[in-house]
Amino acid sequence: MQSENTFAALGLAEPLLRALTDAGYTTPTPIQTKGIPAVLAGGDLLAAAQTGTGKTASFALPILHRLMETAQRTRTGRPRALILTPTRELAAQVDESVRTYGQHLPLRSFAVYGGVSVFGQSKALRRPVDILVATPGRLLDHISQGNLSLSDIEILVLDEADRMLDMGFIRDIRKIMDKMPAKRQNLLFSATFNDDIRGLANSLLTNPVSVDVAPRNTTAERVDQSLMMVPQSGKRDLLIHLIQEQQWFQVLVFSRTKHGADRLSEQLTRAGIPTAALHGNKAQNARTRALDQFKRGKLQVLVATDIAARGIDVDSLPMVVNFELPNVPEDYVHRIGRTGRAGAEGKAVSLVCPDNEMKQLRAIERVINAPIERIVVAGFTVDETRTSRQRPPRDAKAPSQRNGHRHGRANPDSQNTRNADSKRPAHPQRAPRDAQGQGRDKPAGRSLGAQGRDARPRRFGNSD
């Protein structure tokens, strides 16, 4: 029994095991196998884990277990565990997970986050809460209004700590920490580790158990990644073409700006593709509704900014598109990590403008330590070795003009020498629409058979 990889063997109480059975979980994921015993033992934890690894359950289950064990003794009504998250969506999802896992326990979880009425939350906070899930800003609002006290906190979780620091929450986090008892258990989860995170971990954690289940590149390796070189002005048409021809459903499209997300969402909708935008300027109920419709398949595409997308929890999201590359290469890894989760196969396609995104592309390829496969779509994509002066006019419509490969090898001074670009056919033809791998041509850089890359047997490790 002891050596079995089961939730029971990890020492979780029966009501939790029952909830896991209800949820259909049979086997703990690696972060759960390593993290749950560490948290049950009461020590601090430093975990390197991305979304999709099962990290939420790795802290929620042992927290519920520990609180349950002492529930009778210390019933003050004030929260005893605090889970801080960077975004409202993540807070709502963590709260939902805690409720699911704790459904057979007499413990109450509640989430406070911005974008919805403070009043409604403060009313709900008058009832006893055992586990509080919160975004930092709204939590501080409630504390300053006297709606809640952190004086009984025994366990603190910083979820997606790297993102919280990116979003400038460090001061808020420190203020919040000052309002809690110094003696407590601290758990820090982060997908990436830089000096800031290490600094925070050093000041927060005491002799932590370190768990690293997802080295930065594992997710990246599991995802079938490709890119298409396309001028910024041609991206929208290419995306519409790909979604329609390849029949992509449940597509998460990343946009660099909120405004860009809105505009693209409108354009796709006008093209007959049900789409919504998800970003921080949207009212909370609009975001919740969009997410819900996307999950239920009523929306084909969700266009999201990086921060908003962090909260999207959809199992095995099949398709991620980078409409623009992120400025921070690690964000690329986060983005594509939204697909290919828990062993499922996923695809990530990036639309890259050779005029102004080559720097980001090179940085990304350095981080994932591999070149990303180039796909040519005749009539849409261009050759990355060409300078903007050689590119056809922006408004060129005729396929012969749009097919920007006439000068494909005209620029031997290209900065990008790593891509075997010279192998790219000079005049790729668009494949017949009903052919397999529609619209895709032989990609440069790797020889992948004329039937298109969907037929490739290439897959990376798929166990989680």
Residues that bind ligand AMP (CB under 6 A): 25, 27-29, 32, 51-57, 313, 315, 342
Q: Which long-range contacts (CB under 8 A, 24 or more apart) does 294-300 make?
A: 294/250, 297/249, 297/250, 298/274, 299/274, 299/275, 300/243, 300/248, 300/249, 300/250, 300/251, 300/273, 300/274, 300/275
* Token pair in block for residue 62: 């042992």
**In terms of CB distance, is 25 or 193 closer to ligand AMP?**
25
- The nearest distance, CB 287 to ligand AMP, in angstroms, is 18
**In terms of CB distance, is 315 or 413 closer to ligand AMP?**
315
- The nearest distance, CB 314 to ligand AMP, in angstroms, is 8
**In terms of CB distance, is 28 or 340 closer to ligand AMP?**
28
**In terms of CB distance, is 29 or 305 closer to ligand AMP?**
29
- The nearest distance, CB 32 to ligand AMP, in angstroms, is 6
* Token pair in block for residue 253: 């499209």
**In terms of CB distance, is 6 or 293 closer to ligand AMP?**
6
**In terms of CB distance, is 28 or 326 closer to ligand AMP?**
28
Closest of 95, 97, 84 to residue 204, by C-alpha: 84
Give the span between the Cα atoms of 264 and 318, in whole angstroms.
20
Give the span between the Cα atoms of 372 and 110, in whole angstroms.
42
Give the span between the Cα atoms of 184 and 81, in whole angstroms.
10
- The nearest distance, CB 60 to ligand AMP, in angstroms, is 8
**In terms of CB distance, is 57 or 201 closer to ligand AMP?**
57
Give the span between the Cα atoms of 298 and 133, in whole angstroms.
29
- The nearest distance, CB 447 to ligand AMP, in angstroms, is 36
**In terms of CB distance, is 17 or 124 closer to ligand AMP?**
17
- The nearest distance, CB 22 to ligand AMP, in angstroms, is 12
- The nearest distance, CB 133 to ligand AMP, in angstroms, is 13
Give the span between the Cα atoms of 85 and 72, in whole angstroms.
28
In angstroms, how far is the first alpha carbon of the chain from the final one?
A: 22
- The nearest distance, CB 186 to ligand AMP, in angstroms, is 19
Contact 103, 20 (CB under 8 A): no
**In terms of CB distance, is 51 or 414 closer to ligand AMP?**
51
- CB-based contacts of 181: which residues, under 8 Å, 6+ apart? 151, 152, 153, 154
Show the beta-strand stretches assigned E in 353-463: 373-374
Place of tokens 């809105």: 262
Give the span between the Cα atoms of 84 and 113, in whole angstroms.
10
Per-residue 3-state assignment (H helix, E strand, C coil) for 336-373: HCCECHHHCCEEEEEEECCCCCHHHHHHHHHHHCCCCE
- The nearest distance, CB 340 to ligand AMP, in angstroms, is 12
- The nearest distance, CB 141 to ligand AMP, in angstroms, is 26
Burial 339-362 (b: 16+ CB within 10 A, else e): bbbeebebbbbbbbbbeebbebbe
- The nearest distance, CB 366 to ligand AMP, in angstroms, is 26
| Coil, helix or strand at residue 401 | helix
**In terms of CB distance, is 268 or 336 closer to ligand AMP?**
336
Give the span between the Cα atoms of 7 and 13, in whole angstroms.
9
**In terms of CB distance, is 52 or 86 closer to ligand AMP?**
52
